[in-house]
Amino acid sequence: MWYDELAGKSWFSLWSGYMLCGGDCPGIRRHEGPCPACGAAPADFSSTRTTSDGRTTLAYIVAGAEGRYEDYIYLQMLQREWERPVVEFQALAHSSNVERPSAQAALVLLFWGYFETRIERLHRSAMRKLPQRVLEDQLKRHSGIGSRLFDLYRIFFGTTYFDDLRDQGFAAVADLLSDIHKRRNEFSHGKPQAINDATVKALVENLKAEHEAWIAVYNNRVRP
CA-wise closest residue to 43 among 11, 17, 9: 17
Examine residue 35 and tell whether it contacts Zn ion (CB under 5 A). yes
**How far is C-alpha 136 from the chain's CA centre?**
22
Touching Zn ion, residues 189-218 (CB under 5 A): none
DSSP bridge pairs for 56 = 50
Contact region for Zn ion (CB under 5 A) — 15-23, 96-104, 135-143, 176-184?
15-23
Least gap, CB of 135 to Zn ion (angstroms): 21
3, 15, 27, 107: which one binds Zn ion (CB under 5 A): 27
14, 19, 28, 37: which one binds Zn ion (CB under 5 A): 37
Size of interface with Zn ion, in residues (CB under 5 A): 7
14, 21, 173, 207: which one binds Zn ion (CB under 5 A): 21
Residue whose CB is less far from Zn ion, 35 or 180? 35
**How far is C-alpha 217 from the chain's CA centre?**
11
Q: Taking CA 217 as the corner, what is the angle to CA 216 and CA 221, rounded to the nearest 5 degrees?
A: 120
DSSP classification of residue 7:
T
Contact region for Zn ion (CB under 5 A) — 26-34, 113-121, 167-175, 202-210?
26-34
Cα separations in angstroms, 49 against 52, 53, 54, 59, 214 = 10, 11, 9, 6, 37
Contact residues toward Zn ion (CB under 5 A) are 21, 25, 27, 35, 37-38, 40
